[in-house]
Amino acid sequence: MQNKEKKQTSQKYIENGKELASLPLNVLQKHLRTSAKGLSQNEAHRRLSTYGYNEFSNKKVNPLLKFLSYFWGPIPWMIEIATVLSGVLHHWPEFSTIFVLLLANATIGYLEEHSASKAIDALKAQLAIKAKVLRDGKWITRAARELVPGDIVRIRLGDIVPADIKLLDGDSIECDESALTGESLPVTRSAGASVYSGSIIRQGEIDAVVYATGHNTYFGKTAELVINTKSVSHFQRSVLQIGRYLILLALALVVIIIGVSVARDESLLSTLQFVLILTIAAIPVAMPTVLSVTMAVGARLLAKKGAIVSRLVAIEELAGVDVLCSDKTGTLTKNELTLGDPFTRHGVASDDVVLYASLASRKEDNDTIDLAVLRALKDERVLNNYKVEKFQPFDPVRKRTEVVVKNIHDHSEFKSAKGAPQVILSLCANAESITASVNKAVDAFAERGFRSLGVAKTDSHGQWQFLGILPLFDPPRDDARATIESARSMGVSIKMVTGDSLAIAKEMAKNLGLGSSIVDAANLDKNKATNEEVAEIEEADGFAQVFPEHKYRIISLLQKRGHYVGMTGDGVNDAPALKKANCGIAVSQATDAAREAASITLTSPGLSVIIDAIKESRKIVERMNSYAIYRIAETLRVLVFVTLAILVFKRVRY
C-alpha cells in the first residue's frame, strides 16, 4: 500500500513540471526514481510508453475541412458560379465538365500539399536534436524525442536544452533564454538550478537530470523548436500578385463584354456564362499548387545532394546568393588535424607537451583538436597514471581548456591547460623570459599554414609554467580549388572566413587559389565604415581572426552594397549571423543552435555540397519562373482572343 502511494506521488510530480522545478535535487531524484548513474534501457522504454515522446505534436486539421478549404476563395468562387449558371441553363455537358474541373483541382491541390508536407516532415526529422544521455552506465547519443523523466543528460556549449532539466554537481553554466523570456543577456545557472527546454548553452558543460518532457515542460507547446515551413517566398508573392492583376483584368474585360452584349440586346445570362467559363479557363488556377509542388520536389532533390531545407522558401534564398562567406575548417579544409613537431621550452621534452595537452582533452567530446592531440600520444596507457578531478571545457571567451589533475601514484595535484598561445602565455610566471621565442615560433608556424596550440601546467608552487606549442595543420580539401573556380563561373564570389591569424589565412587562401586580399577582422569593430573600407571588404578574398560577432558585421556591410549573402556557421555564437544572412547555412556537425538559426543544413562536409545546392536551387527557381511566364502569357492570349472575338463578330453564340 505504501509503495502504491509512493508511486502515485511520483506520478503526480512527474506530470507537474512546475512543482518538480521547485524540489531540491536529492528529493527530485528520489521522486523520479533515478540516480547519477542514469536509467537502464528497459526502464527508459517503459517510461517512454507511459509519458510519450519528448515532442510537441502539431494541431491536427480535420482532413475533410482541409479538403473543403480548396473550394473557398476568389478563383474557386468564380468556377462555382459558372457551375451554377450552367445548371440553371440546363447545359449539362458543360455543367459536368466544370464540376469535374473544380473537383479535380481541389483533389490535386489537397493530395500534393499533403505529399509535400510529409516530405518536409521527413526532411526535418533528419535535423532532429540529439542528446547525450546516460543509459546502463554508458554515455550514448539519442534523439531528444526519446528522453524520459529521470534520464541523466550532458549539456555543453552550443546545445539546445532538450527538456526541462535540473543541474547536477559541476561548474556553473551560462544559458541564453532569449527565445523563451525575451531577455537578451545570458543567465548563470549552478548545480541544483532548473534550466528549461529551448534554452541555449552559451558557456560551460554539466550533467543534469530530466524532470519534464514534451507538453509537461514549463513552456509546453510555446517552446516549439521546429521551424514552420509554410512561409510564402518573395517569388511566390510576386507571382500571386500577378495572378490577382490578371483576375482584375479579366473582370474588367468581362464588364466590357457584358456592356456591349446588353447594348446589342443579347441574352445576358448566356453572355455571362460564356464569358465566365472562358475567363476562368484563362485564370492561372493551378499556379500556387504548381509552385508549391515544384519547391517540394526541389527540397527532396537538395536533400539527396546533402542540403536539407528547414523551410521551402530557403530554395529561393539559396538561388539568389552571389557572395558566399565560407568557414575554412571542414568546408574549405578536410577538418582532419594533424600534429607537427612541437616547439618546446628549453629542458621540456616534446612527449611531455603532448601528454599535458592530452590531459586537457576529452575523447568523448569528439572535438577535432582534442582527437588530434590524443592521437599524437605514443602510448595512451600513460593517461592511466592520472585522474582528472575537474574539467573546464573550452569556450570562445576564455579561449582555453583547463583541468585539475591528480597523479595516482604520489597523489600530487596540478593544473594543465591548452589553448591560444597568447592566452596561455598570459597565465604563466615564466612568460617574460620566453615571450619573444614563443611569438617567433607562432609566426614561423603561421607562415607554413599551421595553427598553434599553447600548452602549460602548474609547478609544485601552483604557478603556471609555459611548456611549448603544438602546431596543427588542416590540409585543404582535394576538390576545394576546382569548386571555387566552379562557383566563380556561376557568378558566386567565395570569401574565406577563419579565426586563424592573418599569416595562416593568407597561406591557406594561396593554397586554395582564392587570392591574397585578406582583411583582418579586427578592423571591423568600428561602428561606421568609410566607403573605401566597405569597398575593401567587398573586394576581399577572405577574413582572418574572425570572431562570431564579426560575421554579423561582414554580412551587414556586404548587404549594404547590394549583395545577396550566404554565410556558413557551426557554433552557437554563429546564430545571429546565420539569421542575418540572406541564406544561413549550417555546416555538417553544427551545433543545434546553429542548425535552428539556419535556412539550410548540410549533411556532408565540403564547399562542393553548397555549390551543388546553389546550382540545383537555381534550376528549381528557373522552372518556376518559366511556368509563371508561360501561364501569364497564355492567360493574356485567351483573354484578348475572347474579347476581340465577341466584339468583332458582334454576337455571343453559345
Which residues form the catalytic set? 327
- Length in residues, the chain: 654
Spatial CA neighbour of 338 closest among 354, 352, 327: 354
Q: Are strands 130-135 and 152-156 parallel, antiparallel or unpaired?
A: antiparallel
E strands present in 502-564: 518-520, 542-544
Spatial CA neighbour of 105 closest among 294, 287, 247, 251: 287
- In our burial notation (b when 16+ CB lie closer than 10 A, e otherwise), range 610-619 reads bbbbbbbbbe
The number of C-alpha atoms within 13 Å of 361 and in the hemisphere containing its C-beta is 25
Which residues share a beta bridge with 386? 407
Spatial CA neighbour of 173 closest among 198, 151, 153, 193: 193
Question: Using an 8 Å Cβ cutoff, are 279 and 79 in contact?
Answer: no
Question: Using an 8 Å Cβ cutoff, are 339 and 471 in contact?
Answer: yes
State the Cα–Cα distance between residues 49 and 130, nearest whole angstrom. 20
DSSP summary character for residue 587:
P
Write out the three cell numbers for 73: 476563395
Spatial CA neighbour of 555 closest among 584, 530, 594: 584
- 526 SS3 class: coil
DSSP letters of 62-130? PHHHHHHGGG-SHHHHHHHHHHHHHHHTT-HHHHHHHHHHHHHHHHHHHHHHHHHHHHHHHHHHTTPPE
- 468 SS3 class: strand
Checking phi first, is residue 191 left (phi over 0); if not, alpha (psi -120 to 50) or beta?
beta
State the Cα–Cα distance between residues 263 and 401, nearest whole angstrom. 89
State the Cα–Cα distance between residues 62 and 57, nearest whole angstrom. 15
